[in-house]
Amino acid sequence: MRLERITNPSLARQLGFPAAAILATILVAMALAALAGANPLATLGQIVTGALGSKLALMETLNRATPLIFTGLAVAVAFRARLWNIGAEAQFYAGAIVAAILGTGALGSPWALPVTALAAMLAGAVILLGPVLAKTRLGVDEVVTTLLLNFIMLLFVSYLLEGPLKDPMGMGWPKSAALIAEARLPRLLPGLRLHWGFGIAVLAAVAIWIIQIRTTLGFEIRAVGANPEAARFAGMPVNAVMVKTALLSGGLAALGGWSEVAGLKGHLSLDLSPGFGYTGIIVAMLALLHPLGVVVTAIFVAGIFVGSDAMSRTAGVPTYIADMLLASALLFMVLGILLTKVRVVRG
Partner 1 sequence: MIEILISAGFWAAVVRIASPLIFATMGELICERAGVLNLGIEGIMVIGAFTGWMAVYQGMPLWGGVGVAMLAGMAFGLLHATLTVPFGLSQHVVGLGVTLLATSTSSFAYRLMLPEVTSPPKIEPFQPFPIPGLSQIPVLGEALFTQTPLTYAAFGLAILVAWVLFHTPLGLALRAAGENPAAVEAQGLSVTGLRMAAVIVGSGFMAVGGAFLTLSAFSSFFFEMVNGRGWICIALVVFGAWRPGKAVLGAVLFAGFDALQIRMQQTPLGAVLPYQVFLMAPYFLSILALIVMSRRAEVPAALMVPYNKGER
Partner 2 sequence: MTPDAATAKEVVLRLSGITKRFGALVANDAISFRLNKGEVLALLGENGAGKTTLMNILFGHYVADAGSVEVFGQPLPPGAPRAALAAGVGMVHQHFTLSDNLSVMDNIRIGTESLWSTGRSKTVVRAKIQALSQDFGLLVDPDARVGRLAVGERQRVEILKALYRDVRILILDEPTAVLTPQEADALFDTLRRATAMGLSVVFISHKLHEVMAIADRSIVLRHGKVVGEVETHATDRVSLAAMMVGGHVDMPKAETRAAGPALMRFDRVTTPNRGAAPGLKHVDLQLCAGQIIGLAGVSGNGQAALADLISGLVRPSDGALWIRDEKVGAWSPRQALRHKIGRIPEDRHKTGTVADFNLTENAVLESYTQAPFSQRGWMNWRAAETFARDIISRYDLRCPGPDIRIRLLSGGNMQKLILGRVLEAGPKIILANQPVRGLDIGAIAYVNAQLIAARDAGAAVLLISEDLDEIMNLSDVIHVISDGRLSPAFPRGTKTQTELGLWMAGQGFEGGQHAA
Q: Collapsing DSSP states into helix, strand and coil, what is residue 187?
A: strand
Number of residues engaging partner 2 in binding (CB under 8 A): 21
Residue closer to partner 1 by CB (options 37, 168) is 37
Separation of alpha carbons 128 and 245, rounded Å: 10
Other C-beta atoms within 10 Å of 259: how many?
30
Q: Which residue in 10, 14, 158, 215 binds partner 1 (CB under 8 A)?
A: 158
156 binds partner 1 (CB under 8 A): yes
308 contact partners, CB below 8 Å, separation of at least 6: 47, 50, 317, 319, 321, 322, 325
271 binds partner 2 (CB under 8 A): no
Contact 262, 184 (CB under 8 A): yes
Give me the amino acid identity at 212.
Q
1 binds partner 1 (CB under 8 A): yes
Q: Which residue in 231, 317, 329, 333 binds partner 2 (CB under 8 A)?
A: 231
Q: How big is the CA angle at 102 (ends 97 and 103), to the nearest 5 degrees?
A: 100
Residue closer to partner 2 by CB (options 77, 321) is 77
Q: Which residue in 49, 148, 219, 239 binds partner 2 (CB under 8 A)?
A: 219
Least Å distance, CB 248 to partner 2, is 14
Other C-beta atoms within 10 Å of 208: how many?
23
10 binds partner 2 (CB under 8 A): no
Residue closer to partner 2 by CB (options 120, 248) is 248
Give me the amino acid identity at 179.
L
**For the stretch 97-118, what's the b/e string if a residue is b when 16 or more beta carbons lie within 10 angstroms of its beta carbon?**
bbbbbbbbeeeeebbebeebbb
56 binds partner 1 (CB under 8 A): no
Cross-strand partners of 175 = 269
Choices 153-161, 171-179, 203-211, 233-241; region in contact with partner 1 by CB under 8 A: 153-161
22 binds partner 1 (CB under 8 A): no
Least Å distance, CB 346 to partner 2, is 8
Q: Collapsing DSSP states into helix, strand and coil, what is residue 175?
A: strand
140 binds partner 1 (CB under 8 A): yes
H/E element holding 3? strand 2-5
Q: Which residue in 31, 106, 107, 155 binds partner 1 (CB under 8 A)?
A: 155
Cross-strand partners of 166 = 176
Burial of 44 per CB tally in 10 Å (0-12, 13-18, 19+): middle
Residue closer to partner 2 by CB (options 26, 211) is 211
Choices 88-96, 145-153, 183-191, 224-232; region in contact with partner 2 by CB under 8 A: 224-232
224 binds partner 1 (CB under 8 A): no
Phi, psi angles (nearest 5°) of residue 187: -70, 155
The CA-to-CA distance between both ends of the chain, in Å, stands at 5
Residue closer to partner 1 by CB (options 33, 117) is 33
- Applying CB under 8 A, the residues found at the interface with partner 1 are 1-3, 32, 35-36, 84, 86, 134, 138-141, 143-145, 147-149, 151-152, 155-156, 158-159, 162-163, 278, 281-282, 285, 316, 318, 320-321, 323-324, 326-328, 330-331, 334-335, 338
- Applying CB under 8 A, the residues found at the interface with partner 2 are 7, 214-219, 222-223, 226-227, 229-235, 237, 346-347
